[in-house]
Every structure is written in C-alpha cells, then in structure tokens.
Structure 1
Amino acid sequence: MSPDDHFRQTYAADFQPLLGYALRRVEQPADAADVVAETFLIAWRRRHEMPTGPETRLWLYGVARRVLANHHRGGIRRQHLGERLRRRLSSVVPDPANEVPERLAVHDALARLGELDREVLTLTVWEGLEPREIAEVLGVNAAAVRTRLSRARSRLRELVGDDLGPPGHVFSVLTVPTPKEGR
C-alpha cells in the first residue's frame, strides 16, 4: 500500500478517536478541531515514516499529545501577552467608564448640531486638523472654517451648558484617546 493510501485509511479510521481525545483535553471545541487538523497535517508530512498496523493510532496519539502541549504553551503565551497588553493599554488610555455621563452629554449635544458644524468640530478635535486643512477637506476657504468653528464651539457649549465645567473641558471629553507614541 502506498503512503498516500495508508494516510487516507488512517484518517478515515482515526479521525473520530483523535477528535474525542482532543475534545477531552481542551476548553473549546474549535481548539480540538485545530489540534486534530494539525495532527493530521503532521501525519501527512511524515506519511512516509508513519508506522503501519495498530501502531499507527498510537503514533497519532503521540503526535496529538505534542500538538496539544504546543497548543497549551501557546495559550499561556497568548494569555501573558494579553495581560501585558491590557496593562499597557490601561496605562496609556484612561478607563472610559469614568467619563460615560459626560461623553453621552457631549455626544448628544454634538448630534444636535448641524452637519457642517459637527464636521468642523470633529475634524478639529478628533482628527487634529488645522482650519486651513479643514478648508481643503471641505472645499471652502480657511476664513469660513475659522468662523464656522468659532460658532460651532459656542453652539456646543450652549447645548451642553455649565454642567461639564469650563469650556475647554467640553472639548477634552470629545477627544477620543489614542495610544501615545514611544511607550
């Protein structure tokens, strides 16, 4: 029998037992499918070395065992990396839950502005564009943008009221935090 035929027979006979083996050793069924797929990929690559007879299934269990070990080590590495990234993210980006009421009030007020006022404000605050750059984006002159921006800021402050503190704070609440460079 050719190595390809032997592999096909082995796959047909041992897929279900290997899937059961993997399912009992991982938390998620999708992970078990990945383990079995990787096991058979290795078996396919090494089909010329695969033993015949009853030893085939035992050999596959050995391969699956090593794949599972790699899977678990990878999971631990991903977990540690995730923890490190969460710590780093929390040091760079403040917890947005602290500003939810303020953000809701500002976003509600922003939604009540006219479309052009809203666009001028968001291009300024969120995108960090200068009036001359906004003028280019909108296809108007920079003086019109400066006037529109001044009026939009005033309208936004009127809509929000004095509840959010000084006028500059309204715009800081509008700002969407982005990760700082160099950390």
Structure 2
Amino acid sequence: MTNKNSSGITRRGLLGAFAATAVAATPTYANAAGFLRGAGDIRRISMYSGRTGESLDTIYWIEGEYIAEAVREINVHMRDWRTGEAVQMDLRTIDIMAAASNLMEASEPYLLLSGYRSPQTNAMLRSQSSGVARNSLHMRGQAADLRLQSRSTAQMASAAVACHAGGVGRYNGSNFVHMDCGPIRTWRG
C-alpha cells in the first residue's frame, strides 16, 4: 500500500530520504508524531530487556488510534524492573522511539536499559552517578535509555534529533542514547 501526499511523494520514499540523511546530518523535521501520521499508518515498537529477559514486538497504533492492549504491554515492559512498578508511559516518547527506529531502518529491537524509574530507584542511581537528574523524566514515564547493536550512538542520536520532538542524550562511554518527550535539547554524557 502506498500513501501519497498532495505533492505525489510516497511516505516510503520520504522515510527513505530521512533515513539516508539522518545518520549523516541533523536536519530539522516535524515532530515524531508528525512524520508517522497518515492514513493507513501503522506504528510498531520492538524492545528487549536484558534485565528481565522479556521481549516486546507490538503494533501499538493503527489508523490514528492507539491500541489499548498494546499500550498496556508497553507500560509493563518499560516498568521499573527493580520495584516492578509500572506507569502509563508517555506515548510521545514511544512515538519518538518508533520514528527514530524507522529513520535508521533498524531491523533489530531496541535494548531497553531504562524506561520508567520509581523515585526510590532514581534516588539510588543518583547516589551512584552524577549523570542522573534529580527530577528525571524517567520518573514521569517520559524517557527511555536505549541501545542498538547495529547502530552507533551517533547514528541513534542523529535519528532521534531528526524527530525534533524532545531531548536526546548521547552516552558514548556507556553505549546508549536517552530519548524523551521533554523540551527539545541535546547533550553528551
């Protein structure tokens, strides 16, 4: 199925163009939800948690509607693995993750290092590292720390920045990228 906008450009062609430039430059585009939007659009997210051994590969949005059961599965998958507590993840973050994955044309699932963090977990991590924010968006279900074996942190960060939809932190030493739906900003850790 091909979706065409009024200029005759296909969605697949547009995403291909984004993918080709995302790894080399940091262009400014519409937000993640913007370039995932469209009639017939399907949004999918695929993740693996090394902490729990659980995998998730789900279509969570079809034809303009989030799928409640898939969203619940995402919330459980992205729970604080230390406490078992899950919250409603902000779907804007999931959209950014899905959009970045599409831009990179990644076929492997994200390795989820951290999704939701309880205040207790965040305080514990803060006591061990200066890189953990006191008011982390992880505690609001608005952030994820992710890794891909087939992509560098530079490639992942470029794709997330291209979404122009939230914060992107690049942690080369720990080999992961932070993506969130907060204010648009970038940093290196």
> Higher helix proportion, which one?
1
> Higher strand proportion, which one?
2
Under TM normalisation by the shorter chain, which class is it? under 0.3
Report which structure shows greater RCO (CA 8 Å, sep ≥6).
Answer: 2
TM-score by length of 1: 0.21
